[in-house]
A and B are shown apart, each in its own frame.
Chain A
Amino acid sequence: MNPARKRTVRLVVALSVAVVLASALIYTSFSAASPALTPSQLLRQAQPGRSYLLTGTVLAHSVARDGAVLNFSVADRAGSTATAVPVAYTGTVPDPFREGREVIVTVEKQGGRYVGERNSLITKCPSKYKEAPASEKQNS
């Protein structure tokens, strides 16, 4: 085989490998991803056994600790409190977690309950880079 031909073959092989790997990556990212939903969306469309990324604010007076389990309800950011999702969570609780804060937590529907995945709770910290202190005051 002449060198030019050999190079072309090599290039084609390398490119096909890259394409195959990239497609595998892209495929798995879609199948492994958890959809991000608001509490009202979650209540409407949650299927048991799938995990969802729940985003919303922690409902006031809903936080209670029961041994290692932290119970709290997540409500829509700007919605009624009627569409709150009760979450039973175990694992690390970030420092900024408190009532009225925006949180992101991975949950799975188990029967009528929503169980938070261990150590998946993220709190959006409201004071870093915030635009105006007024927004925080409205939240809390």
Chain B
Amino acid sequence: MAALGRVCLLLALVVCAYGIGASIYGVRTGRFEFSESGRRSVYALAGILTVAFAVLEIAFLKNDFAFNTVADTSSRTTPTFYKAAAVWSSQEGSLLLWAWLLSLWSSLVLFLTRKRLRDVAAYATAILLGFGGFFVSLMVFYAQPFATTNPAPSEGVGLDPLLRFPTMMIHPPMLYSGYTLCTIPLAFGMGALLARRVDAEWIRVIRRFAFAAWLFLGIGILLGARWSYSELGWGGYWGWDAVENASLMPWLTGTAFLHSLMIQEKRGMLKVWNVSLVLATGTLAIMGTFLVRSGVLNSIHAFGGQTLGVPFVVLIAVLIAASIYLVVSRREMLRTEHRLDSLLSRESVFLANNLVLVALCFVIFWGTYFPLISEALTGHEASVGPPWFDRYTVPLALILVLLSGIGPAIAWRRATLANARRNFVAPIACAMLTLLVLLAAGIAHKAFAIAMFCCGAFVLASISQEFFRGMRARGAMAHEAPPVALVALVRRNRRRYGGYIVHIGIAVLFVGIAASSSFQHASELGLSPGQSSRVGAYTIRYVRPTASVTPDYDSAGTPAGRELSAIIRSERGVTLGPDTARTGATLSLGAVLDVSKDGRHVTTLFPSEGYYASEEPTQGSVGHLIGGQPVSHVALDAGITRDVWTAIAPNIETPRLKRIIALGNKTLPYIHPGEGIVAIAAMASAYMQNPPQAQFHLIVSPMVMWIWIGGLIVGGGALIAIWPAPSVVRRRVAARSRARAEHGLARA
């Protein structure tokens, strides 16, 4: 099987090389049958990489430890769901996922444009195949996903327990779809410059893909935040970590581009700016991949060796140089057709939004790469922390949210005073009302949070007003009932109203961020059973400890496995697994926490810490069963107004518990490692009978859920905007049925 995978990769490399050559030859000589063939080689690449990906996925599901990546990131005790997701947890597997997704998305865009923009598409094909070839050659020469060891090890290391979280299944594919989709506008932008066809046509072709890239990247970022919040055990969703920042930067420039391209479509302005944004977004996406894969910067997403650094640096340098050369050499063609008429117009609001987004991106870029910059300039590595990021990003985010309320309501070309009064009196009144309510509620000390709430109210009012006016106009013209008119309105102008819904979602999201970061109560302390702690308005009591022990997944059905299960059950206070989070932890120690407010019971939470097996013989026959990395399983009560978030770190390093493990290590032979579970159960029982003080991390933060709700609204709005317009669909269906009818007539 591994041989099949290797052959696929070599074949893919050949296909890429052929496709690049054919496309460029075709477009240069005008023999478009060659560039047609180049396009088909993208489809072929997609097919080949699908086979390669399937080979690797099957190897993971079948526990084929002859594959080095399987042995390194999976094991028999890893639950099946996580075996399937473990494919992309390794360097090699994630490169394959990248290349595979790139080939799929490229095939889709090239299929949809097969009858348009022949010359631009031919260059784009070559560029996309260039990226494909780059990633495939990384897999052929540097990080081989199909490398094998003979004889195969009998057991693998297992998937990192930190990654055993349900979104692991979708977060990486979403993020990588976003990254790969970012390269499509780049390829077409470069193609348009190379073919010297810089009208709005290529923008119309890739607009939907740019939006899809933005959506997927956004979903990926949000899922990552969600993982950080509920798995990493620190209770935050954003830490200005290098890898987080890397994914945010192309998203920001992508957001800027989605706005400024409307100006180019409508008014023929900002051509240089747009094409630069597209090239920057694609380059930042590649840099993001580079950052994750090379390990140049410190991050909680840690990395192995730096073998991939040099090829990536070369690729990025080539991209930047080519971008600059193309834009500069084609600058005459990119002349604007109009000038900005007035500073009070939708164009200038869009321009301001673009400047703010690019400034945000620059701040984040500088902060993220600061360790490298500082080392290059001063010779000392130094880095800036979250406070530095917050100082600049918070005010910029405020301006951004405010602009998202102004943009949709202000007139194109030149806004008059009457126009402004008509559109902004109600939203400003709403913002002022919010301010008064907040001041009356006595929370004047958090200036930025209050400003964000007011901006949010302004945006909601401004956009609701747009919806209301559109609906009323439609209702009056077509004599429709308001709900019907609303649906019809959105259906007829998907892009516009979908975009407005996105603005609402962003405002909700930022209100959630402002509220949860400014009005959070947190407490970290050690508690013994029976003791309680006050966090904000809540009292959290440590009622009693819990312990569950899970024998080896594979042995559960065997006679020996049944015997072991019976022994575990007989231990006092210990329950037989699987652990509550079902992530394959050998031992799970937790707590029953009673959460109450003003003496009334609110909820009961069960946070726990999972202890996983390691493949480390030196830890002993018993010790290795819990010798892997412990992972905290957070328990939280999420609500519309607040989240109660709890995590526990039990103490298993007491002399008594250590003695049990040491004794087990001495008496139980390593030959049957499964039997060590008996000693683990005895230890868990000892823990239960005499529970030592455990460390708790308790957080009450308001409105965290609004971040996820805002994200869902953004996603919904973006889908409405991306969905093909009904007229296009209808035309296609009509054409198809007409063709069918004609075909039928011809036969009759």
Contact = CB atoms under 8 A, between A and B. Distances in A.
A29 B629 contact: no
Given A128-B160, A129-B303, A33 B526 contact: no
Contacts of B359: 21
Contact of B304 (A7, A26, A34, A131): A131
Contacts of B298: 36, 55, 104, 122, 124
Interface in B670-713: 695, 697
A26 to B, nearest CB: 7
B157 A93 contact: no
A28 B388 contact: yes
Given A93-B649, A130-B72, A133-B72, A33 B384 contact: yes
Nearest to A125: B302
B391 A29 contact: no
B234 A92 contact: yes
A67 B370 contact: no
Contact of A22 (B362, B371, B385): B362
Provide the main secondary structure of the chain B interface: mixed
B233 A94 contact: yes
B301 A92 contact: no
B246 to A, nearest CB: 14
Contacts of A30: 374, 378, 382
B657 to A, nearest CB: 15
A95 B233 contact: yes
Interface residues of B, number: 59
B163 A32 contact: no
Nearest to A140: B616
Interface string B371-384: 10010001011111
A106 B525 CA distance: 21
A123 interface: yes
Nearest to B241: A122
Contacts of B367: 29
A25 B365 CA distance: 12
Interface in B313-349: 339
A140 B303 CA distance: 17
Nearest to B158: A127
Most buried by B among A33, A55, A127: A127
Contacts of B94: 129
Given A34-B382, A104-B298, A129-B302, A26 B366 contact: yes
B37 interface: no
A25 B72 CA distance: 43
Q: Which of B232, B366, B382, B526 has its CB near the most chain A CB atoms (within 10 A)?
A: B382
A123 B302 CA distance: 8
B232 to A, nearest CB: 7
B631 interface: yes
B651 interface: yes
Interface in B357-371: 359, 362-363, 366-367, 370-371
B304 A33 contact: no
A137 B616 contact: yes
Nearest to A128: B160
B691 to A, nearest CB: 16
B304 A94 contact: no
A79 interface: no
A3 to B, nearest CB: 8
A89 B89 CA distance: 31
Interface string B64-81: 000000011000000000
Contacts of B232: 94-95
Interface in B157-175: 157, 160, 162-163
Minimum-distance CB pairs A-B, first 9: A131-B304, A124-B302, A33-B382, A36-B381, A35-B382, A92-B234, A130-B304, A127-B160, A131-B305
